[in-house]
């Protein structure tokens, strides 16, 4: 195995980390959910810092509107609609170093969360939706795995490190997800790259601290804004009546019924999940011959066009239906062309 001592010598001169902390980093395994704006910045920071294994999970494809803020992607990735985990891996591989990458072009949900997080020392939030974050909170608390929440909208964002058994969890602050449509999103309020960088930098710093350094003394919710600019830290206490970390109720992980279709943030696209698991992409391609146009297939996806729009199908049975935000229409198109 190569000797990376010289590579990390500046980092190990930071006394709170040191050589022992660097060794712990190199032995760590981290699950990162989402490879877009936050996730891309986090992945780059962790790889450059020397994390041992990085498990990347993302369900989406690169598009042109990602490029201003999603640092791992290039124009060619957008032109080719490359799966984000594949594009991220290409860019991260050029950095070199000891980090091993494990890629999953899939949607993390209650059916695969425990398997994807197996043996991980930390979970990082690079997602763009509340449903997945509440699932991650259930997963982390149930398995006693630390996780770091991060969210960005407009010019600001929030960061919270959740240490199961030692401090509050996400549901101590927000017991239930906000009603759909009640919060601003990147689609309604936009998002600035410096805000993404600010939130991701704090998440990454906390990640290094949790993986390699002395334990955090208190749990704080950090509110950051890159436009004003301003920062605020609020000390958070554990809720003795929290349904998750106090009462050990994990509905988002154990009881939730999977949503078959969800609108994707900032896109004219609906994601549809199949009811019967894996899809034979080669067989589907054959069945669509003469029906669909511009069929493209590789080991990660099958993409085709029909009069109603473009559909991209993944091996896990998931599909992205582009050209509509109407969930019902997306489901109808999915069933029409995939028969599920």
CA 44 to chain centre: 14
Residue 72's nearest CA partner among 52, 53, 55, 86 is 86
Q: Tally Cβ neighbours within 10 Å of residue 307.
A: 6
CA 81, CA 142: separation in Å to the nearest integer? 36
DSSP letter assigned to residue 259? P
CA 205, CA 196: separation in Å to the nearest integer? 14
Cβ atoms of residues 126 and 39 within 8 Å: yes
Which of helix, strand or coil describes residue 204? helix
Which one is catalytic: 172, 186, 242, 244? 186
Residue 169 annotated as catalytic: no
CA 116, CA 56: separation in Å to the nearest integer? 9
- In terms of C-beta distances under 8 Å and separation of at least 24 residues, what long-range contacts does 234-238 make, across chains too? 236/160, 236/167, 236/168, 236/172, 236/173, 237/168, 237/172, 238/167, 238/168, 238/169, 238/172
What CA–CA distances, in Å, run from 189 to 185, 227, 252?
6, 14, 27
Which residue has 């936050």 as its token pair? 38
DSSP readout, 149-196? EEEEEBTEEEEEEE-TTTS--HHHH-SSPPPTTSS--HHHH-B-HHHH
Which of helix, strand or coil describes residue 209? helix
Which residue has 């894996």 as its token pair? 278
Mutual angle of helices 193-212 and 37-49, in 10-degree steps: 40
Which residues have a catalytic role annotated? 186
């Amino acid at each position: 195995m190569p000797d990376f001592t010289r590579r990390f010598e500046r980092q190990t001169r930071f006394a709170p980390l040191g050589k022992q902390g660097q060794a712990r980093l190199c032995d760590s395994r981290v699950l990162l959910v989402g490879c877009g704006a936050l996730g891309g910045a986090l992945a780059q920071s962790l790889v450059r810092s020397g994390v041992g294994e990085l498990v990347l999970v993302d369900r989406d494809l690169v598009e042109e509107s990602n490029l201003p803020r999603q640092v791992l992607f290039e124009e060619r990735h957008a032109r080719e609609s490359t799966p984000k985990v594949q594009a991220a891996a290409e860019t991260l591989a050029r950095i070199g170093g000891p980090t091993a990458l494990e890629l999953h072009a899939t949607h993390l949900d209650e059916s695969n969360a425990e398997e994807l997080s197996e043996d991980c020392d930390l979970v990082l939030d690079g997602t763009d939706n509340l449903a997945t974050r509440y699932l991650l909170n259930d997963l982390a608390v149930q398995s006693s795995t630390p996780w770091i929440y991060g969210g960005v909208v407009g010019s600001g964002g929030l960061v919270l490190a959740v240490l199961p058994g030692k401090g509050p969890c996400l549901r101590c602050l927000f017991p239930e997800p906000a009603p759909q449509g009640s919060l601003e999103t990147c689609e309604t309020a936009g998002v600035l790259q410096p805000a993404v960088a600010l939130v991701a930098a704090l998440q990454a710093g906390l990640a290094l601290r949790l993986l390699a350094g002395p334990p955090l003394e208190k749990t704080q919710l950090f509110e950051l804004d890159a436009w004003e600019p301003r920062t605020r830290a609020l000390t958070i206490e554990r809720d003795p009546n929290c349904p998750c970390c106090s009462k050990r109720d994990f509905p988002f992980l154990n009881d939730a019924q999977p949503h078959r279709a969800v609108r994707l943030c900032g896109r004219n696209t609906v994601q549809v999940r199949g009811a019967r698991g894996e899809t034979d992409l080669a067989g589907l391609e054959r069945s669509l011959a003469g029906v669909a146009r511009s069929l493209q297939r590789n080991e990660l996806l099958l993409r085709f066009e029909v009069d109603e729009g473009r559909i991209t199908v993944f091996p896990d049975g998931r599909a992205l239906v582009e050209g509509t935000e109407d969930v019902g229409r997306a489901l109808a198109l999915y069933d029409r062309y995939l028969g599920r």
